[in-house]
């Protein structure tokens, strides 16, 4: 093909070449958290809360009913909440039972502890949560029985 006779083709070819070269040169790595990082931070937050609850029980003879009670025992819980990576809910009736839910955009964990026995479930919201939870949103039943 003779490009001398068709300067339009030459201009279009140069434009595409320039576009491709610039897109390769200007690639920047992201400094924000990716989904894998969020999944790791969610599991770490769950571990911190559960360890703090154990320490709170040893110190006070009962579990904490509020996240704020746990922060002096595990200050990184405050960092998790401030960073906006996770949402943490703690509920206790003030005895030897508590419920904790730690959720991010990648994975959600629910744990209940009754007299030291842990039960719980999780839900993988994105594939990056798979190493920590195999239950996916497709496993969620459309409705639950009333009883």
Concatenated DSSP letters of 63-106: --SSHHHHTTT-THHHHHHHHTS-EEEEEE-SSSEEEEEEE-SS
Tens of pLDDT, residues 40-74: 999 999 999 999 999 999 999 999 989 999 999 99
**Domain segments of the chain as ranges:** 35-139
For all residues of the chain together, what is the average pLDDT? 88
> Whole-angstrom Cα distance, residue 51 to residue 133?
20
Instruction: Check if the beta carbon of residue 77 is closer than 8 Å to that of residue 49.
Output: yes
pLDDT band at 2 (very low <50, low <70, confident <90, very high): low
Q: Write down the pTM of the prediction.
A: 0.75
Instruction: Check if the beta carbon of residue 103 is closer than 8 Å to that of residue 42.
Output: yes
| For residue 7, pLDDT beyond 80 | no
Predicted confidence at residue 119, as pLDDT, reads: 94
Instruction: Check if the beta carbon of residue 69 is closer than 8 Å to that of residue 63.
Output: no
| For residue 140, pLDDT beyond 60 | yes
């Amino acid at each position: 093909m003779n490009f001398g006779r068709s300067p339009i083709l030459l201009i279009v070819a140069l434009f595409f070449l320039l576009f491709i070269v610039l897109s390769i040169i200007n690639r920047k790595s992201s400094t924000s958290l990716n989904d894998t990082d969020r999944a790791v931070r969610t599991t770490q937050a769950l571990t911190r809360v559960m360890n703090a609850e154990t320490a709170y029980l040893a110190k006070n003879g009962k579990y904490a009913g509020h996240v704020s009670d746990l922060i002096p025992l595990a200050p990184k819980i405050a960092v998790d909440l401030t960073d906006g990576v996770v949402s943490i809910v703690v509920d206790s009736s003030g005895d030897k039972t508590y419920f904790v839910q730690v959720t991010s955009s990648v994975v959600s964990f629910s744990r209940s502890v009754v007299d030291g026995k842990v039960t719980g479930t999780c839900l993988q919201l994105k594939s990056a949560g798979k190493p920590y939870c195999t239950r996916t949103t497709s496993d969620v039943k459309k409705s639950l029985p009333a009883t």
